[in-house]
Amino acid sequence: MRDSSLKPSRDGFQWTEATGLVAGVPTLGLIQPSSHCNKGKIYDVLVIGGGYAGLTASRNLALADNQVLLLEARDRIGGRSWSSNIDGYPYEMGGTWVHWNQPFIWNELRRYDMTGQLEVSPRKNVEGGARVTVMMDGELLHISHDEEDEVIESAFKKFINVDGQFARSIIPYPHDIEFNMKGVLSCDKMSMADRMTQVASQLTPLEKNMFEGFLAITHGAKWDEASFFELLRWWALMNYNYADFMAIGLTYKLRCGQSALARHIFDEARGTGQVDYSFSTAVATVNDNGDLVEVTSRDGSTFRARRIVCTIPLNVLHTIKFVPTLPVLKTEASLIGHANQVVKCHAEVANPEMRSLGATNYPDGKLTYTFGDGTTPAGNTHLVAFGSSLPHVHLSPQTDVETTKKAFEAFHPGMRVKRLVFHNWHEDEFARGAWEWLRPGMTTKYLQALRERHGNVLFASSDSSYGWRGFIDGAIEDGGRVSRVVDQELKAAVHRHQFDVNSKL
């Protein structure tokens, strides 16, 4: 779909020499008209948040014959996983990669006949040949993709092997870490910095440089603020080996973009006739009086429902006023927040030969890692890059376009940047960070508390889900889990009411 047929969201930025920096990018996820609801109506369920958890809950509850109101602070669906569509080409602004080993998102792709939309990216050793560059001690090294994999895999195995079984005894059941909390406790207290100190002497200089660069954009945090257990959890979910880690977590994306999938879910929900919505509606307060819950937006509008499904991200939850107040552990966890403040940025470069580029620039690059992620309609190369949140290299692309361009150009000689596209997640008030990466000790102290309900308010989020926590799959799983609980409660309440009425007759 050409971007001329799409209107821009307020979110995201793009830059070209011709236009300069422009706020807002076109997306399939923009919802217009922005509101279709009855403010005086008492809904069965009010869902706060139009990301994948909220969309899944809204659709499932509507299909179960509940009247649903969806409130979203943004003007679009998708939350932290959405795509822009520029000149007929999608740029993934947040969550991107999917795999058939992620059962809940795979089910959605099957549901909407979208498995044929999968494409392999990055592709190695294809267009332009193999190009891998590594900036090390000020010297630009050139290696092959096979050599890159050998170096990273060797370092990964040393780093992850805390039990002599490559973490299999620590996390024997990746979707249910509660089955071995002893193993969780032994590693959750460790930071990534702690573990690196333990294994640094075992790594060659090249292994340490490349692997640290890889990890820096995986957790997107200061090393002493990122839990080592989170990496073990990812490793376990991806079958305890490096090849599957890369295949499952960083290989397959949707040719049509994530917003196309989100749109399918939203459109099916709306098609039931049971879902109303209000976008550009930021929630200020949630007041549970026992019988009904009243939600007030920042502009003073009020909405009422029997149940609330709250999908607000962990780092934002504490900004909402709840009456009664949230339990201490929920509030404390949100105030602390997860640690991931990674920067993600796309570039269209006039270098077709860089389609297979892979490059690291650690520890001094403003962008740490990049790779070829596609070919644009103009025949140029699409690169996606990530930057860490280390203080001395932290990047704010929209306030310093020239530095962002230079950060790309530092990856490889002769790179010519034609376009930049990005969403600055750590400066986004409705996200305050990228994908979830908990701090040391947070899993054991806070995770269960984050999942617990608060009266008539239930919580669903990829930040606290089972299984693929921090991924799109986790958001879909949790939205489905909570929607089942809510639907069962509402139907039980109707049944009790009917029984009481019949008893009185």
pLDDT tens digits, 168-178: 999 999 999 87
pLDDT at 389: 74
Structure tokens at 260: 């196309």
pLDDT for res 504: 67
For residue 17, give the DSSP letter.
T
Find the DSSP H helices in 42-140: 52-63, 103-111
Could you tell me the end-to-end alpha-carbon distance of the chain, in angstroms, rounded to an integer? 60
Q: What is the pLDDT of residues 29-44, one digit of tens each?
A: 999 999 999 999 999 9
pLDDT value for 2: 39
- Find out whether 436 is annotated in a ligand binding site: no
What is the set of domains in the chain, with CATH numbers?
31-118+255-337+432-498 (3.50.50.60), 122-250+342-388+390-423 (3.90.660.10)
Query: Cα separation of 86 and 170, whole Å?
Result: 44
Pairing of strands 42-48, 68-71: parallel
pLDDT at position 186 is: 87
| pLDDT at res. 202 | 98
In this predicted structure, what is the pLDDT of residue 3? 47
Q: Record the tokens describing residue 314, joined without a space.
A: 């962990």
Q: According to the model, what pLDDT value does residue 390 have?
A: 75
Distance, in Å, from the CA atom of 166 to the CA atom of 157, rounded to the nearest integer, reads: 7
Quote the CA–CA distance of 133 and 113 in Å, as a whole number: 38
Residue-level pLDDT at 505? 62
pTM: 0.96
**Is 127 assigned a ligand-binding role in the annotation?**
no
Q: Per the annotation, does 283 bind a ligand? A: yes
Q: In whole angstroms, what is the distance from residue 159 CA to residue 196 CA?
A: 7
pLDDT for 179 equals 80
Q: Is 386 within any annotated ligand binding site?
A: yes
- Measured distance CA(15)–CA(21) in Å, rounded: 4
Cα–Cα distances in angstroms (integers) from residue 94 to residues 83, 330, 352, 420, 438, in the given order: 7, 25, 24, 15, 18
Task: Write down the pLDDT at residue 393.
Answer: 81
DSSP 399: G
Average pLDDT of the chain? 94
List CB contacts of 285: < 8 A, sequence separation 6 or more. Answer: 295, 296, 320, 321, 322, 323
The tens place of each residue's pLDDT in the chain, 505 residues long, gives: 334 579 999 999 999 999 999 999 999 999 999 999 999 999 999 999 999 999 999 999 999 999 999 999 999 999 999 999 999 999 999 999 999 999 999 999 999 999 999 999 877 766 555 679 999 999 999 999 999 999 999 999 999 999 999 999 999 999 998 788 888 898 999 999 999 999 999 999 999 999 999 999 999 999 999 999 999 999 999 999 999 999 999 999 999 999 999 999 999 999 999 999 999 999 999 999 999 999 999 999 999 999 999 999 999 999 999 999 999 999 999 999 999 999 999 999 999 999 999 999 999 999 999 999 999 999 999 999 999 877 778 899 999 999 999 999 999 999 999 999 999 999 999 999 999 999 999 999 999 999 999 999 999 999 999 999 999 999 999 999 999 999 999 999 887 767 666 666 6
The answer to whether the CB of 458 falls within 8 A of the CB of 308 is: yes
Q: Which sign does the torsion angle of CA 393, 395, 399, 402 carry?
A: positive
Token pair 């075992």: residue: 202
Q: What are phi and psi of 337, to 5 degrees?
A: 75, 155
